[in-house]
Structure 1
Amino acid sequence: TIYFSDIVDFNEIVMNCSPIKIIDILNSLYNLLDTIIDCYDVYKVETIGSVYMVVSGVPVRNGQRHVFEVANMCLDILQKIKELDFERDHVKIKLKIGINTGCSCVAGIVGNKMPRYCLFGDSINTASRMQSTGAGTF
């Protein structure tokens, strides 16, 4: 099961905040998400800008639990994202989330200089499209 999230209107936030504030926002968000995912059988694949990607069921298989792990992780994220407070800067963080399960996926290490664990396949593409076209929530 694949999870993607992105900050709603991130480009607008970037245009209205200082660079150091953007780093503060991303650091606070990623620290929160990193803390949450520690409670679940999931693997953080990567962050790219404001996109956060997590998977369950690979690289370590967990039977059918991957669905449960990601779904409950999402509910936890949606509850705890409300605790991020950037009101002093008039910034409210909302996330667009996409998850998908059941389609094929291939995982592997690519590259030599900076090797990365990458995932490819229908499940990843579908979760990414769901995230990018979804409505934001907080």
Structure 2
Amino acid sequence: MLSERIETILRETGTKIGVLGDVAGVSSGTASMWLTGQIKSIKLQYAIKIQRKYGYNATWIVLGEGPKTLVPQSNDLSPTIQALALRVGALSSQRRARIESIISAWLVDAEQLDKLEAIEQGSNPALAAKSAHRLPK
């Protein structure tokens, strides 16, 4: 049902129904009626706008057929991580850049911690202690 697909998009992207309506080019009232099931179909032109913004397959939005998203789904990633990727993808370019910089900083810190753990598991305790003092705070 369209209402279930709309609910899925809202839940997974963290988007409000009025914003989804704006993205699609319809009133918030129309978008709300998609969500409540009062309107049981959506025009392809609106679904394509949602697809462009959020990555959900317009065919899936309109018909409920085919893959849900255009982003390849990976069996290696949990549904939570996949939903996170969709939410980040839906952010403005400025907010997305900020999130990416936070993640990049975290990855550098995680890499440093991995190196420290590898050194600590090695046979040179003095080197491990010396390396620990060089880690960024």
What TM-score do the two structures reach when normalised by structure 1?
Answer: 0.28
> Which structure carries more strand by proportion?
1
What TM-score do the two structures reach when normalised by structure 2?
Answer: 0.28
For the pair shown, which has the larger CA radius of gyration, 1 or 2?
2
